[in-house]
Structure 1
Amino acid sequence: MDIDFVITWVDMNDPIWQESFAKHSGKINNAKNEVSEARFRDHGLLKYWFRGVEQFAPWVRKIHFVTCGQKPEWLNVDHPKLNLVHHEDYIPPQFLPLFNSSVLEVHLHRIPDLAENFVYFNDDFFIINDLKPSRFFNNGVPQDIAAFRMNMGMSLWSKCLKNNIRLINQRFDKSAIMKRDHAKWYNPIYGSRARLTYLLSWYNKFITLRTPHNAQPYTKTTFEEVWNYAEKELMEMSEHKFRSPEDFTQELFRTWQICQSNFEAYNTYQDTKMFPLLFRSKKAIKAIREQTYSLVCINDNEHMPNFDQTMMEIEKSFESILPKQSQFELADRLS
């Protein structure tokens, strides 16, 4: 079974990107999440993402590296597994340029030569321990957790998640799905994370699913199904150059996949962890050094104090487990 990885990346220090950003937005504004510095700044850790793939997931068929035409100077573009993907290679031209990662994500199935089974990464998701293909796909089916969580927030992201669920409830009957897939929704491997699923068993509507916020397996078929159902809504969303409260997110496709029973029950929290650096930088550093998990998310925040010092310590922790240059790096341009 072929499995591809897709990763999106941006370098906000690129003068061409800055000019385009300024033309359409004005300037970085840390008071607005959709145009904050944390939304676009590069951590300088990308080489460890590639090292982690080579060391811990060498079975990947192809890596689709999605940017607006940028690439790190050290990247070996001739690596046989690397596919450089420009936004214009898969996003309809009328929506470009784009600074909205949600729009980039809803069109992923259009990437040329993308395998049916693929795993999507943000550039702050890292592999830090051995992974088998079955971590993401078992018998060709995505591994995932089907469990509810409360979404009472008023943030832009919370509003987008509510948009997803509204569309899901238009398309799917919760009672029928929970009856059909009872063993998947009420699987004991979820442990306490399924508590709300049991408490809301009487409620006849879907609410937001738990989101591990890390590498997520998908099938292209899922994306095609969602687009066939909601093309009008997704095309309208694609006009938003920056994140908007009217957006949908990749969680729409994940939830759809689960509602279609196109998944096997897996407690993704057992080997996946998100670390908000604003609050848990020391725990993140320790987890990387000790390789406590297989997958970690190093989540940036525009208000994070001592950013440079924190990222230096994070880099040291990655270097301690992935010191060897990968074949994705040019031998004469180490960084």
Structure 2
Amino acid sequence: MDIDFVVTWVDMNDPKWQEDFRKYSGRKGNTKNGVSEARFRDYGFLKYWFRGVEKFAPWVRKIHFVTCGQKPEWLDESNPKINLVSHKDYIPEQFLPTFNSGVIEYYLHKIPGLAEHFVHFNDDFYIINNVGVERFFKNGLPCDIAVFKYHPSWAQWYVTLKNNIKIINRRFDKKEVLSRDHDKWFHKSYGSKACWNYILKPYGKFITLRTPHNAQPYLKSSFEEAWAFAEKELMESSVNKFRSYNDYTQELFRTWQICKGNFEPYNTYIDTKMFPLMIKPKQAVRAIREQSYKLVCLNDNVHIRNYAQVMENIKDAFESILPEKSSFEK
């Protein structure tokens, strides 16, 4: 099967982007986190994302590089595997410009030429070791972990997850889903992470699922089906230029395809790891150098101490495993 990668990126040093950001970034109705520098700043590590893809996942058909019309100077857009995608190419004009990652992700299925099977990356997700097709897709279905997790209601991200679940509970009957796909929801590979599945098995409604913070495989048709069911809610929240409490997230589409049974059980925590750089910068550097995982997420935060030094250490780690230019670089 053809498998595409989709990666979303922003250059916050772009004067045009800065002008639009200042124009639209009033705090009213938005959370502080939704307009924080950490959400948009670029480490300068994007070239290592492309190097990792070329070296460790050469089987990818096409890379859809999604921005608000930006392009790094070093990127060779003539590479046949690259499709430069501007927000205006797939997001309805009335919702642009947008700085809301949720809205940018709602419409991914509208990207021109996107394959039915694709993997979505944020620009802080990196491939650092050999990864095969079977890491993301097996028997034509996304590989994923279907386990419940309780999330507190006070945090914005978790509020939006609960928004997703309201739609899921309107569409799917939990007892029916768990009965039909029992072996997928109670797969032995999940280990202790499936404890809430057993605890909540008698409970009649879905709660939020555990959300691995890393590259996510999708069927384009999962987006299309969810949109057909929840177009009103998704359109209404598309007006939010920054993250807001009535948003939905890409977890809606992930949970949708899990509830449809369109996934193969896979404990993604076996070979992926998220490192919050505020508290685990040394562990992140070590994991990259030693290639301890197939995929890592380097999670930024405005409170990172010695930010410049931390970034320099991570750059050196990337250089140790990906020193050569890729064909995506001029």
* TM-score, length basis structure 2: 0.98
Distance in 2, matches of 1:88 and 1:52, equals 28
The equivalent residue for 2:166 is 166
The equivalent residue for 1:155 is 155
The equivalent residue for 1:139 is 139
The equivalent residue for 2:19 is 19
Distance in 2, matches of 1:142 and 1:3, equals 11
Deviations 1:7-44 (A, max 9, x none): 000011111100011111159xxx81000001100011
Distance in 1, matches of 2:8 and 2:159, equals 23
The equivalent residue for 2:99 is 99
The equivalent residue for 1:258 is 258
Q: Give the letter for the 2:35 counterpart.
A: V
Residues 194-273 of structure 1: pairs in structure 2 closer than 5 A:
194-273=194-273
Query: SS state of the match for residue 210, structure 1?
Result: coil
Q: CA deviation at 1:69?
A: 0.7
Query: SS state of the match for residue 88, structure 1?
Result: helix
Distance in 1, matches of 2:119 and 2:243, equals 22
The equivalent residue for 2:64 is 64
Which of structure 1's runs of 4+ aligned residues deviate more than 6 A? none
Residues 77-116 of structure 1: pairs in structure 2 closer than 5 A:
77-116=77-116
Cα pair distance change 1:224/1:313, threshold 3 Å: same
Q: CA deviation at 1:153?
A: 4.0
Q: CA deviation at 1:199?
A: 1.2
In the alignment, is residue 188 of structure 1 matched against residue 188 of structure 2? yes
Q: Give the letter for the 1:211 counterpart.
A: T
Distance in 1, matches of 2:318 and 2:104, equals 28
Structure 2, unmatched stretches of 5+, are none
Distance in 2, matches of 1:155 and 1:312, equals 31
Deviations 1:182-222 (A, max 9, x none): 10001110001101111111111111111111000001100
Q: CA deviation at 1:306?
A: 1.1
Distance in 1, matches of 2:157 and 2:302, equals 16
CA-based RMSD: 1.1
Structure 1, unmatched stretches of 5+, are 331-335
Distance in 1, matches of 2:173 and 2:13, equals 47
Distance in 1, matches of 2:202 and 2:152, equals 19
Q: CA deviation at 1:162?
A: 0.6
Query: SS state of the match for residue 179, structure 1?
Result: helix
Q: CA deviation at 1:169?
A: 0.7
Residues 309-328 of structure 1: pairs in structure 2 closer than 5 A:
309-328=309-328
Deviations 1:35-90 (A, max 9, x none): 00011000110000000000000000000000001111100010000000000000
The equivalent residue for 1:33 is 33
Q: Give the letter for the 1:188 counterpart.
A: K
Q: Give the letter for the 1:84 counterpart.
A: L
The equivalent residue for 1:333 is none
Aligned length in residues: 328
Q: CA deviation at 1:303?
A: 1.5
Q: CA deviation at 1:154?
A: 1.0
Deviations 1:273-319 (A, max 9, x none): 00011111111111110000000000001121111110110111111
Deviations 1:69-124 (A, max 9, x none): 11111000100000000000000000000100110001000000000000000000
* TM-score, length basis structure 1: 0.96
Distance in 1, matches of 2:230 and 2:153, equals 25
Deviations 1:314-333 (A, max 9, x none): 11111100001000000xxx
Q: Percent identity?
A: 66
